Amino acid sequence: MAAAFLALSPLKAQVTVGALRTPNSTLDVATQPSTSTTPDGMMAPRVALSLLNARSALYTANQKGALVYVTLVDVATIPQTVNITAAGYYYFDGAVWVKITDSKNPTWLLGGNTNGSLQTLGTKDAYDLPVITNNTEKMRVTAGGNVGINTNNPTATLDIVQTDKAANPGHGFILDDGNQQPGYTLTCDANGVGTWRNSGISNIMGVFPTAPTEPQCTQKITITDNLWHATNAYIDLPPGMWRIDMTLALLPVTVVAGSTNKILQQSTFLSDLSTLNTFNYVTSTEIGINASSSYRLISGFVNQDTYFTIPNGMMVIRNTSTIMKRYYLIVHASTAVTFTYTAGGCNAENTMVATPILSVD
């Protein structure tokens, strides 16, 4: 009868284990006397991951709060045991097993952590890592490595969506690196380090010798051979790649009516005039877009029977240094000179303009 009574009637009581005293809680476990050889403590069920996986169907919302000690991670996890990555205490939250952290497996605390060594924050499986504020997702790191700000589906390494773009467009991000100026554009060096640079709208003008009156035009140089000659003209360029547009008037010293003589004159630029005698426009690393022979010369014919000819064209100068450099206009007759002509100097037709090249396909 007593057994039947106990089974049918809920037993409402508090229990003390290990001592004859009134319990202080539902279950009160007392320490052992100092003379006892029995270790103190309570032991949760000790299970391997494989056993928890096998019994997963037994754990429902009714088992919320269950505590176990995982002794061995001996198989792959399933959705219910996905958080079990090492031995330790785990509790069941009604859906998955959650690790109880300790000094060897610290949690990330509000207010910051003193880690003492390198730690990681994130996921160990193929799930994204969202970051929320005000209970709304504001940033996400995808399992593939893309970072999205104000987007949960970033399609690039960094994908930024301005939240108030309709009412306040043009405020996507701010880069304050000391180089910012109105009208500048974001560019980078060969290593991908980004900064603000001149947008490319501004040009740099070259310098021809100043000569307000004709008698002062003596700064022209006279070509009598097919060697390279430095003129008195130049252009100063900062680091980068530059498009040079130039017009250059060439005048024969003596005009011979009806003469069929003409000379192909080539023009380009050189920063170190001490190498003028060994200059080779094909191998120069200061001109052209790359190692090809294109964009390296501006050429045109000088005719002996024409008062002057005006070749014009475009080429490229590459300042690969980190400082402003001066590039001198040098000229060269590609064939043996059969008549004397002049180049450079104060001719009104002479122009030299540099425009920055921001990218090359």
- In the prediction, which pLDDT does 12 show? 54
What is the distance between the alpha carbons of residues 168 and 161, in angstroms, rounded to a whole number?
Answer: 12
Supply 17's token pair.
Answer: 């284990």
Model confidence at 106, in pLDDT bands (50, 70, 90)?
A: low
- Global pTM? 0.48
Q: What is the pLDDT of residue 2?
A: 40
Q: Which residue has the tokens 């499986």?
A: 125
Amino acid 56: pLDDT = 95
Residue 149 scores a pLDDT above 90: yes
Given a cut of 80, whether residue 212 has pLDDT beyond it is: no
Pair 255, 217 in one domain: yes
pLDDT at residue 67 tops 60: yes
CATH of the domain at 303: 2.60.120
Report pLDDT for 123.
Answer: 87
- The answer to whether residue 126 is domain-embedded is no
151 and 195 belong to one structural domain: no
Q: What is the mean pLDDT of the chain?
A: 85
Element (H, E) at 52: helix 49-54
- Over residues 221-280, the pLDDT tens digits come to 788 888 898 887 899 999 989 999 999 888 888 888 888 888 888 999 999 999 999 999
Q: What is the DSSP letter of 83?
A: T
Identify whether 115 is part of a domain.
Answer: no
In a domain, 306, yes or no: yes
Q: How far does CA 302 lie from the centroid of its chain?
A: 50
- 125 within domain boundaries: no
The reply to whether 233 and 316 lie within a common domain is yes
Query: If pLDDT is split at 50, 70 and 90, which confidence band does 104 have?
Result: low
pLDDT at 139: 96
- For residue 25, being part of any structural domain is answered with yes
Are 324 and 210 in a shared domain?
yes
Per 3-state DSSP, the chain is made up of helix, strand and coil in percentages (nearest 5) of: 10, 35, 55
Q: Is residue 17 part of a domain?
A: yes
The pLDDT assigned to 274 comes to 95
pLDDT digit string (tens) for 159-204? 999 988 888 888 888 899 998 887 788 888 888 889 988 765 678 9
217 plus 300 within the same structural domain: yes
Q: Give the residue from 227, 206, 229, 209 showing the smallest Cα distance to 217.
A: 209
Are 232 and 323 members of one domain? yes
Residue 121 lies in a domain: no
Same domain, 186 and 253: no
What tens digit of pLDDT does each residue of 280-336 get? 999 999 999 887 779 999 998 888 888 888 889 999 999 999 899 999 999 988 877
Q: In angstroms, rounded to a whole number, what is the distance separating the alpha carbons of residues 26 and 174?
A: 59
Domain coverage including residue 150: 131-163
**Judgement on whether residues 226 and 352 belong to the same structural domain of the protein:** yes
pLDDT band (50, 70, 90) for residue 129: very high
- Contact by Cβ (8 Å): 146, 155: yes
Domain count, the chain: 5
pLDDT of residue 216: 42
